Amino acid sequence: MSGGGNTAYGRKAFQRSKAHFTDRITADGREGWPVEAGRYRLVVSRACPWASRAVVSRRLLGLEDALSLAIADPLQDDRSWRFTLDPGDRDPVLGIRFLSEAYDRRETEYPGGVSVPAIVDVPSGRLVTNDYQRITLDLATEWTALHRAGAPDLYPEPLRDEIDAVMADVFEDVNNGVYRAGFATGQQEYEEACARLFRRLELLGERLAGQRYLVGDTITEADIRLFTTLVRFDAVYHGHFKCNRWKLTEHQVLWAYARDLYQTPGFGDTVDFDHIKRHYYQVHSGINPTGIVPLGPDLSGWLTPHHRQELGGRAFGDGTPPGPPAQAERVPAHGRP
Ligand SMILES: N[C@@H](CCC(=O)N[C@@H](CS)C(=O)NCC(=O)O)C(=O)O
């Protein structure tokens, strides 16, 4: 969501558009896209919170070998997401320079924006889906045959209603709330979004004061979705999006919760603060015209003890944590502790 794409901000209130390509990759292939090891490529930006959900899920579920990963440059140009981090400026598997080429192969003259996350069919080079709300749920429930041994159940059937309800509030007020505040073009619109955001965060903090995770006693999809916003909070949303009633590090419960997840294999090892900061501060020229990227915040606190284990909970339920990320997917330290 730069100043374009299929989201819009302008004189009217910030509107997030719905994903246009909503085909589902399923175990039974009923929409023409069967789950198949090695067939699809997940295209992300490590800067993007919506894409980062899929990166975390893929790690927790051990889908790295089955679903390969393309990482776009955090700075889009006027053709949007590009593979300028790769040799020859081309994605080595898809052979394309811009993600838009996969969109074009799917639908010519598609008028919307080019967004991540996107899943591309490698043999045809066509985009399958950019439906970020669905992608992770399908990784959890449709890709089970390819999950690693010991993979957690991120969307357990008996808890789905509760997970859905929590995620709906988190989406409206937090995941998307920071964008509504950041791209507001009127004082009142900003204040409303900001007030709702912090009210919701306070409520989530109360919920998390006595329980380690949002729903049940294990990590679920709901935690992944809250984490991807919290981990960006002080680095970009507090300053760039003016969500500055308090910093994450000033909220005892949420800061400990975020650190707990960050230190859990599969979460912090996917986070690239350099990509995050450069993307937001340099791409959103409407709200940061100088493109200056701030030096802070100090990231050294992320690895400090969180003591959340005292609340009980079993991060992976009956499963186990994922192993370390593959060498090629390690996030550079960039001043990270
Ligand atoms: N596709 C969804 C969510 C994904 C999304 O917004 N991704 C951003 C990056 S965080 C993106 O790719 N935006 C298109 C662009 O910036 O050109 C939407 O439009 O709301």
Taking 80 as the threshold, does the pLDDT of residue 178 lie above it? Answer: yes
Average pLDDT in the 247-253 region? 98
The verdict on the CB of residue 132 being under 6 Å from ligand 1 is: yes
Band of residue 336 on the pLDDT scale cut at 50, 70, 90: low
The verdict on the CB of residue 74 being under 6 Å from ligand 1 is: no
* pLDDT value at residue 5: 35
Average pLDDT in the 7-36 region? 81
What is each CA distance from 269 to 46, 112, 265, in whole angstroms? 11, 32, 7
Q: What is the DSSP letter of 292?
A: P
Chain mean pLDDT for the chain = 94
Give the tens place of pLDDT for each residue, 103-115: 999 998 888 899 9
* pLDDT value at residue 12: 60
Distance between alpha carbon 2 and the CA centroid of its chain, in Å?
Answer: 15
* pLDDT value at residue 110: 84
Residues 109 and 235: their CA atoms lie apart, in Å, by 36
To test the ligand 1 pocket, which listed residue (42, 115, 172) has its Cβ within 8 A of the most ligand atoms? 115
What's the CA-to-centroid distance between 115 and ligand 1, angstroms?
A: 4
Place of tokens 């970009």: 236
Instruction: Given the residues 48, 132, 155, 243, select the one marked as catalytic.
Output: 48
The verdict on the CB of residue 5 being under 6 Å from ligand 1 is: yes
Give the tens place of pLDDT for each residue, 304-321: 999 999 999 999 999 999
Average pLDDT in the 202-221 region? 98
Compare 17 and 137 and report the one with higher pLDDT.
137
The verdict on the CB of residue 6 being under 6 Å from ligand 1 is: yes
Q: What percent of the chain has pLDDT over 90?
A: 91
Average pLDDT in the 321-331 region? 96
What's the CA-to-centroid distance between 1 and ligand 1, angstroms?
A: 4
Taking 80 as the threshold, does the pLDDT of residue 13 lie above it? Answer: no
Compare 187 and 1 and report the one with higher pLDDT.
187
What's the CA-to-centroid distance between 335 and ligand 1, angstroms?
A: 27
Instruction: Given the residues 103, 155, 179, 190, select the one marked as catalytic.
Output: 179
Band of residue 4 on the pLDDT scale cut at 50, 70, 90: very low
Question: Active site includes 48?
Answer: yes
The verdict on the CB of residue 115 being under 6 Å from ligand 1 is: yes
Cis peptide before 87 (omega within 30 of 0): no
* pLDDT value at residue 17: 65
What's the CA-to-centroid distance between 5 and ligand 1, angstroms?
A: 6
Report which ligand 1 atom has the smallest distance to the Cα of 3: 16
Residues 11 and 49: their CA atoms lie apart, in Å, by 24
Buried/exposed code over 139-177 (b: 16+ C-beta within 10 A; e: otherwise):
bbbbbeebbbeebbbbbbeebeeebeebbebbbebbbbb
Ligand 1, atom 8, residue with closest C-alpha:
1
* pLDDT value at residue 191: 98
Compare 139 and 17 and report the one with higher pLDDT.
139
Place of tokens 């959890």: 140
* pLDDT value at residue 334: 60
Taking 50 as the threshold, does the pLDDT of residue 9 lie above it? Answer: no
Average pLDDT in the 142-166 region? 98
Residues 200 and 176: their CA atoms lie apart, in Å, by 12
Taking 60 as the threshold, does the pLDDT of residue 337 lie above it? Answer: no
Band of residue 15 on the pLDDT scale cut at 50, 70, 90: confident
* pLDDT value at residue 111: 82
What's the CA-to-centroid distance between 248 and ligand 1, angstroms?
A: 24
